Structure 1
Amino acid sequence: MSNATPPFSISASMTHSIANISEALGKISALYSPATIEHYKQQKLTSIQMKNSEFQFTVSDLSSPDSLLALHRSLMKDQSEKSGRYREQGLALKNGLQMAPQAIRVPKMVEELFAWFNTTNHHPLISSAVCHYELQFIQPVAQGNTELACVWQTQQLSQWHTLFSLLNIHNLIAATRQRYFESINLSTKTGDSSVFIEYMLETLLSALDILESDLKSITKSQTPQHPPQVKNTIHLDIQAPQVIALINVFNQSEKPLNRQELQNQLGLKDRKHFRERYLKPAIDAGIIEMTIPEKPNSKMQQYRLKS
């Protein structure tokens, strides 16, 4: 990093991935109850795969160099003298990583990185990925840099959206380890972390797809019958995810909602897609109704569960 602003550019692929991730987050939040999500989290916390200090470390602020070192201290198993301290020597890097900056430059580089992170207007999915890459480039500590960068990003994204607390980025990259380090190396060679950002966004989207599949399995095992507040006489596949998601939004609301409010709750931006896949099937099935049925195109139109 040659200056206080990390070098990267925004691509069409990133924009597309961010939209898909946002929609996936909205869909999962609307489709599955907090109880189901908590049940899934507890299952993961008690599994061998997730028994590590990453899920024991929670702080309200991870946006300063000191908090980064505190995180490293918590991750180090042996609590050695190198725990929670910047490295003081050069590193013999593995996995094909390029040469790390001189140790004497590390504190300043980390300080500049966090100064940028705390003031940037870029989307959290972008800024957290940029910092992840930069931490791998700087290699701030003597050992554990990969885990440190992964856990830091996991915690930052969890503060942006709670569903990311169900993911473990360190485990996610293990499945594509070669691509992970290749994207870091290519970004370093080009002096632009865009390749790494694209890789990270794709990885997060794939993880959310798997998360949704896991939650769906839990839901089926817990509630094999029809979802609550839906009549068995409705001649429609009411188990369709879109219909269930819409029902859950109304179940969590104490008042009728307009189209835009419903789309926001579901994390959907495409009006036509929402109308054709969510709204119209639910209305046709008699699950929801308009508050102004005589004026279906009214700007004041709202919707509610049909009693």
Structure 2
Amino acid sequence: MSRYTPPLTLTTRMLGLIADISEQIGQLSAVSENQQTPQLRRGNRIRTIHASLAIENNTLSVAQVTAVLAGQRVLGLPREIQEVRNAFAAYEAMSGWRPDSRIDLLRAHELLMQGLIDDAGQLRSAGVGIYRGDQLVHMAPPPSRVTHLIDDLLAWVGSSDWHPLIVSCVFHYEFEFIHPFADGNGRMGRLWQTLLLSRWRPVLAYLPVEAVIRDQQEAYYAALSASDRLAESTPFVEFMLHSLKVALAEAIRNEPVTDQVTDQVTDQVARLLHALRGGGVFKVSELMEQLGLAHKATFRGNYLKPALACGFIEMTDPESPRSPAQRYRLTQLGRQATMGSG
């Protein structure tokens, strides 16, 4: 039994969010627990990796991340390409790790940071401060305390009878506070929270909550800072629970249109993929004409966005989504889907 219990004030907002999230998971599990295809899971994992690395200033686009993982040549910084490969390897290995094991935590960090830092897979041996710009926002505990603090935290994770949602969020905050590694702490904290959530509900292994965090990056850092000031994780737990709720709402919204390839991809997405099957690149107006559609909002909502979210199609200019010169084409994933759908 762990003697350490992280400080936390349970709030009515947390309880409300837990109730909402549990209901959402029920909705999502009803349609996808045993039905998510490898393509859909891979699409969500790509979004997860892209967002988690973007938070750490990786500049590769979703399309570039997809291409790297498909083994294609990508114009980009070698370090950023290595970060993508490492992150994918780490998330793929996640199901084999125990959330309360220091050995597994170190293995995960080694996978995540190999080739990027010299001491991948080792707890830090130097002091570290976290800066936003020129401002010191957090001074992490001294290196002499790191092993003890991490062991206490992992022992608590293994023995806590708190709700798994709370445990995962508290772990994430406490991990960032300890900052146990020389580099890669942010992406490790997000990876390990996903591991904890996936042990509770397997459907959460592929929930791209990182994309929500990336869109609210300032609020993410503000919640960490607010928890530091209070000396308890309460503000951060509320922020993370809300982010999970937003990510689940998006997953439920997308589920009917991203549910499965072949017979389970919606007719609309299948029609769009069929229109692109011959290769080439097309403008929105050209695709609408091929599909016999006149209403742009319907086309975007029912055809284009779901296909993009699944990773079945990509933009020719992802850095400028609204460019008048924007075209769309099938990805390798999309080509596989069209082969499966006949």
Q: Please tell me the TM-score bracket, short chain as reference.
A: 0.5 to 0.7
Taking structure 1 as reference, are residues 87 and 198 closer, same or farther at Cα in structure 2, changes over 3 Å only? same
- Report the aligned-residue RMSD: 2.4
Q: What residue number does 1:11 align with?
A: 11
Q: What residue number does 1:113 align with?
A: 153
Percent of aligned positions with the same letter in both sequences?
29
Q: Quote the offset at 1:5 in angstroms.
A: 1.6
Paired with 1:13 and 1:66, the residues of 2 have a C-alpha distance of 35
Matches within 5 A, 1:1-307: 4-32=4-32, 34-36=34-36, 38-45=38-45, 48=63, 49=65, 51=69, 52-53=87-88, 54-58=90-94, 59-78=96-115, 80-95=117-132, 97-219=137-259, 222-224=265-267
Say how many residue pairs are matched.
223
Q: Quote the offset at 1:190 in angstroms.
A: 0.7
Q: Quote the offset at 1:32 in angstroms.
A: 4.2
Aligned partner of 2:104: which letter?
S
Please give the TM-score of this superposition, normalised by the length of structure 1.
0.67
Paired with 1:38 and 1:22, the residues of 2 have a C-alpha distance of 24
Q: What residue number does 2:340 align with?
A: none
Paired with 2:230 and 2:42, the residues of 1 have a C-alpha distance of 42
Q: Quote the offset at 1:33 in angstroms.
A: 6.6
Paired with 1:171 and 1:136, the residues of 2 have a C-alpha distance of 19
Structure 2 runs not aligned, ≥5 long = 47-61, 70-86, 269-342
Taking structure 1 as reference, are residues 203 and 33 closer, same or farther at Cα in structure 2, changes over 3 Å only? closer
Paired with 2:259 and 2:210, the residues of 1 have a C-alpha distance of 27
Taking structure 1 as reference, are residues 37 and 211 closer, same or farther at Cα in structure 2, changes over 3 Å only? farther
1:37–1:215: 8 Å Cα contact kept in structure 2?
A: no
Q: Quote the offset at 1:168 in angstroms.
A: 3.4
1:97–1:184: 8 Å Cα contact kept in structure 2?
A: no
Q: Quote the offset at 1:80 in angstroms.
A: 4.0
1:151–1:169: 8 Å Cα contact kept in structure 2?
A: no
Q: Which moved more, 1:97-106 or 1:29-38?
A: 29-38
Q: Quote the offset at 1:224 in angstroms.
A: 5.0
Taking structure 1 as reference, are residues 136 and 60 closer, same or farther at Cα in structure 2, changes over 3 Å only? closer
Please give the TM-score of this superposition, normalised by the length of structure 2.
0.60
Q: What residue number does 1:239 align with?
A: none
Query: Which has more radius of gyration?
Result: 1
Q: Quote the offset at 1:44 in angstroms.
A: 3.4
Q: Which moved more, 1:79-88 or 1:185-194?
A: 79-88
Structure 1 runs not aligned, ≥5 long = 226-307
Taking structure 1 as reference, are residues 144 and 127 closer, same or farther at Cα in structure 2, changes over 3 Å only? same
Q: Quote the offset at 1:79 in angstroms.
A: 5.8
2:33–2:203: 8 Å Cα contact kept in structure 1?
A: no
